[in-house]
Amino acid sequence: MTPENLKFIRKKLNLTQKQISEIVEVSDKTWQQWETGKSPMHIAFFNLLKDRVKDRIDLNILIDQKPTQKTHKIYNDYNQNQITKNAEHLAEITHSEEQKYAHLGDFKFIDLFAGVGGIRQSFENNGGKCVFSSEIDAFAKFTYYTNFGTVPFGDITKISADSIPQHDILCAGFPCQPFSHIGKREGFEHPTQGTMFHEIIRIIETRKTPVLFLENVPGLINHDDGNTLQVIIETLQDMGYKVQHTVLDASHFGIPQKRKRFYLVAFLDHNIQFEFPKPPMLFKDIGEVLETNITGYSISEHLQKSYLFKKDDGKPAIVDKNSKGAIKTLVSTYHKIQRLTGTFVKDGETGIRLLTTNECKAIMGFPEHFSIPVSRTQMYRQMGNSVVVPVVTKISEQISISLKNSKKIVKNENLEFELT
């Protein structure tokens, strides 16, 4: 029995390691060793577990139905040029294939303004299956396809809400720029991106989506003296949603980057109990994720002398393997070498370099195997615009638990009704 299967079984049973270890009469430490692969589980214990949960689930059937982790495969059937030229056709083909396996998930979700798939990665980590995705940027589409095997559909404003499959959760990291301190603070008055929230409303009006997950920059809270957020909340409440929101900092979740983001979760069913995850206050030093003896990312000596260190209005942040704490927020314009907002590494041919692809993935919480098959400039844009995966994974875990608990309550109420 593989560690992955043991974890899959426990998650499907909705049990903690302590709870499932009590079923097979071992310590929770022993179960932890089995689940992490530090020691093998004897077949006798698996047979005991199978016998004791047989009234709840058939473990043999469950293992056969376990969905494979797509993120471990790199998809390369289509290249960047093919996806750019035939995006909508390839989106139809790949979505059709993807929807064949939607029934294997614990819940179905759609991924709007999908970027490279950070939100998708997070919700799939908790048993969700994506049934629709949309992203307008051709380079982001290519990265998304390379990792998930699905080409996102394009401009959401041109997609009929009726054509979007039924789903349990709508996920949307709607465009950051209108509400960011870094970009123009234009909000709903922005001629293009400002209307994207209204596209979300258009879809949930048609599909009566049970749960919403929205992500944005924290500047959304104070934009237009708070009127923008008020419009969002009141609009959702008028549609029957119970709305909760918070701001979480990635540096409190074991990520060596100070990155605060606004998160909103809304339920149509007001009886569902949900709480945002409490920050575990896990801290990692940036030095732990830095690579050494890197070539190809260096900042020229001329640029260092003429720009990076010349002015006296402040010094850029320079880190190395011994550096402690978290770095500043990674922005999508990092490649432009902004001297006071960027963080640079003491390494490379000229002594100072930019963050590498692997380092950017690490400070955004993406797994090592996540592939970014685009230029370095596009890589910085994609990582700077993404969500931090571990933070969203924790939120999606709480959403999943809330949905499972609500189903248990319904089952118990139905049973009580039948008995009476």
User: Would you call 176 a catalytic residue per the annotation?
Assistant: yes
Catalytic residue among 130, 171, 176, 360: 176
Longest dimension (CA), the chain: 83
Nearest Cα neighbor of 266 from 310, 221, 213 is 213
Residues facing residue 128 across a β-bridge: 107
CA atoms within 13 A on the CB side of 106: 22
> What Å distances lie between residue 281 and 29, 76, 386, CA to CA?
23, 39, 22
Q: What is the distance of C-alpha 334 from the center of its chain?
A: 21
Question: How is residue 247 written in tokens?
Answer: 């701001």
Residues that are catalytic: 176
